[in-house]
Amino acid sequence: MTDTSLQPESDEREDEEPLESAQQRASMVQLRSERSPSLGDRKSSGVNPVVHETEDAVLDVLLQTQGTCAIIEDDPAITRAINRFLNKSFSIVSFYADAVKFLAAVYDAERDDFSVLPHVILCDTNLPNGLSGDQMYAKLTEILTRKGVTKDQWPVMMAMSGRPNDTDNQGSIGYYSDNGIPFYRKPLNVSGILADMKEAIKAKPLLIGN
């Protein structure tokens, strides 16, 4: 099995950090080539391979033509690296440097209504401007609940962190496990996260044109 690190695209603007530093931090995002179950594997596991392959193909087309994904991450090197992978699977991948900007983009407080809501959200836990990942998700779910949006129409919510002292049951990180939000550690296995995104979307048939 070969591990391929996603490296950020170079940018010659003077106000950006040195390329070596960006590359070092972008190496926190890794694409691991994982063997997908073969048709024989699926037969032996009792899964109808034809139906399974058809569902996967339909979902791939839906995501590539309609799927939207929001990444909330304050490290531009990591966002560029993630984008190089996810933009092949989603029609639109949007990036926000903090949770405040994300909420302002998707929710109109004056109208008390959503302007747009992505199908999938992947949010860092530690963010600037006074709103952490768990606080953002708590606010978002409060609005969704108050607006009467059923959970099968909620976006797929995921969290990530590069802080070594974060654990699933320590501090704010416990929020994610308590609320069924998958939590991923950096370096990210982007291929595994994408697979989890697709499985979560399959469990929400009303989320995207299924």
What pLDDT, on the 0 to 100 scale, is given for residue 24?
A: 53
Report the distance separating Cα 91 and Cα 114, nearest Å.
Answer: 20
What pLDDT, on the 0 to 100 scale, is given for residue 110?
A: 94
Q: Quick check: 25 and 2 in contact, CB under 8 A?
A: no
Question: With b meaning 16 or more CB within 10 Å and e meaning fewer, what string describes 120-148?
Answer: bbbbbbebeeebbbbebbeebbebbeeee
At 20-62, the pLDDT tens digits run 455 555 555 544 333 333 323 433 445 455 455 778 999 999 9
CATH architecture of 13-30+47-202: 3-Layer(aba) Sandwich (3.40)
What pLDDT, on the 0 to 100 scale, is given for residue 23?
A: 54
Query: Which amino acid does the sequence have at 59?
Result: L
Report the distance separating Cα 179 and Cα 145, nearest Å.
Answer: 14
